[in-house]
């Protein structure tokens, strides 16, 4: 029997109307904050920034692609990473669908990371993304907008993150969830935390480029589409709330790191254990199923191959057998992706404690 409060429909409606009033207040307040955000003064950008893209080298102005507004998601993918940050990946899963709509409203969306373009392109293909992603490798863009930090800044506690100084000093012991996320990215924890998530916006007016806004840490919550749904689910979705967030250093008290799994892993958390989704099982089952059908048809079936009955001396490798083998080869893509992801070291075996913690629901309030 449930331990949660249960009431009559009339009592539920009374409580729901109270919540509706609070939701309406939040919506109105959100509208007010959006107006404050748009009235924020601008800062002229005179420094030249260049990026590596699929279309070659581009300047910051080039990223606008004919629009007057530019949104940049600072995706955590450092030069030492083997894969993108899993949390940033969960946010970026929503970019494909909205990028075209933003472009139709005079807004261009780009992700920018410090990893070399080849790494970004390989990961982008693995994840099935189509939104534009640029590499800022070798430039100052990430450092100037306070989402990347040098080893010296990390040692000396310098740098600024989320408008606070000294936010990159490493703790004596990093929180376990940070270590887990670093492992998922294939990076050493100390290198992993030298990159930080954020979002910056720019505008061009009368040919002049301006920086208008940047947000970091919990300021990105509104971009994380998954949590807008989880916040409306009936049970706690293990979302870290204010006062219970995992922190890195003294100036990152509001940086939350949630347990997430990349969508291409094809698993979900069920009772604390990883369970492959139906689509994942079907994708992996297709190739061996067709291979078994080829084996049965070629060597064990008592019925002659109908396509080859008229052929003299037909081989077991002809007709339907060959077709089944060909279909098995065509269905090998899920296995190739699985092997590739295993080799990348981006995720751990299910028996690994870090893997289980990332997949499962954490009871630790600091995560």
pLDDT by residue for the chain (367 residues), tens only, comes to 888 999 999 999 999 999 999 999 999 999 999 999 999 999 999 999 999 999 999 999 999 999 999 999 999 999 999 999 999 999 999 999 999 999 999 999 999 999 999 999 999 999 999 999 999 999 999 999 999 999 888 888 778 899 988 766 666 667 888 888 999 999 999 899 999 999 999 999 999 999 999 999 999 998 988 888 888 999 865 554 444 444 343 333 334 445 577 877 754 433 333 344 445 566 677 778 878 877 877 776 555 444 444 444 445 455 677 777 777 787 787 777 667 655 544 333 333 333 333 333 333 322 3
Token digits of residue 54: 């699929």
- Would residue 353 count as lying in a domain? no
Does 267 reside within a domain? no
Domain boundary among 230, 262, 294: 262
Domain identity same for 78 and 196? yes
Domains contained in the chain, number: 2
What is the DSSP code (8-state) at residue 362? P
Residue 215 near residue 73 (C-beta atoms within 8 A): no
211 found inside a domain? yes
- Residues with Cβ < 8 Å from 148, sequence gap 6 or more? 78, 114, 142, 194, 195, 196
Q: Is 255 found in the same domain as 302? A: no
Is residue 14 in a domain? no
Residues 94 and 216 in one domain: yes
18 vs 23: CA distance, rounded Å: 9
Whether 176 is in a domain gets the answer yes
Same structural domain, 225 and 148: yes
**Residue 294: domain span:** 273-345
Q: Which two tokens stand for residue 81?
A: 């990473």
Same domain for 233 and 179: yes
**End-to-end CA separation in angstroms for the chain:** 29
* Whether residue 280 sits in one domain with residue 239: no
Burial of 57 (0-12, 13-18, 19+ CB in 10 A): exposed
Is 288 found in the same domain as 256? no
One domain for residues 246 and 289? no
Residue 22 contacts by C-beta under 8 Å, 6 or more apart in sequence? none
Query: What H or E segment, with its residue span, contains residue 38?
Result: helix 9-38
366 part of a folded domain = no
User: What is the SS3 assignment for 240?
Assistant: coil
């Amino acid at each position: 029997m449930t331990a949660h409060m249960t009431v009559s429909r009339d009592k539920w409606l009374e409580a729901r109307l109270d919540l509706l009033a609070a939701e309406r207040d939040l919506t109105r307040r959100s509208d007010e904050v959006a107006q404050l955000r748009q009235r924020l003064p601008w800062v002229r950008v005179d420094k030249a920034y260049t990026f590596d893209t699929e279309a070659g080298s581009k300047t910051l102005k080039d990223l606008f692609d004919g629009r007057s507004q530019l949104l940049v998601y600072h995706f955590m993918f450092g030069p030492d990473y083997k894969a993108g940050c899993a949390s940033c990946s969960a946010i970026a899963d929503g970019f494909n669908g909205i990028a075209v709509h933003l472009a139709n409203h005079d807004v261009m969306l780009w992700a920018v990371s410090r990893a070399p373009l080849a790494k970004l392109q390989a990961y982008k293909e693995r994840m099935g993304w189509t939104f534009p992603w640029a590499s800022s490798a070798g430039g100052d863009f990430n450092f100037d907008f306070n989402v990347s930090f040098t080893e010296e800044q990390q040692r000396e506690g310098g740098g600024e993150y989320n408008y606070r100084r000294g936010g990159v000093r490493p703790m004596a012991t990093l929180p376990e969830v940070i270590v887990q996320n670093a492992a998922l990215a294939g990076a050493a924890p100390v290198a992993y935390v030298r990159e930080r998530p954020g979002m910056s916006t720019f505008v061009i007016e009368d040919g002049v480029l301006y920086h208008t806004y940047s947000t970091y840490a919990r300021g990105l919550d509104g971009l994380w589409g998954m949590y807008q749904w989880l916040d409306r689910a009936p049970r706690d979705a293990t979302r870290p709330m204010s006062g219970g967030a995992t922190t890195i250093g003294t100036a990152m008290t509001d940086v939350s790191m949630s347990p997430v799994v990349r969508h291409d892993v094809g698993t979900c958390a069920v009772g604390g254990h990883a369970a492959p989704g139906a689509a994942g099982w079907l994708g992996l089952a297709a190739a061996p199923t067709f291979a078994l059908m080829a084996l049965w048809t070629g060597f064990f079936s008592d019925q002659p191959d109908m396509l080859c009955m008229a052929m003299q001396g037909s081989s077991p490798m002809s007709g339907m057998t060959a077709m089944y083998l060909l279909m098995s080869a065509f269905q090998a893509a899920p296995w190739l992706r699985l092997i590739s992801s295993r080799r990348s070291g981006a995720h751990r075996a299910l028996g690994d404690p870090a893997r289980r913690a990332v997949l499962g629901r954490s009871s630790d309030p600091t995560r």
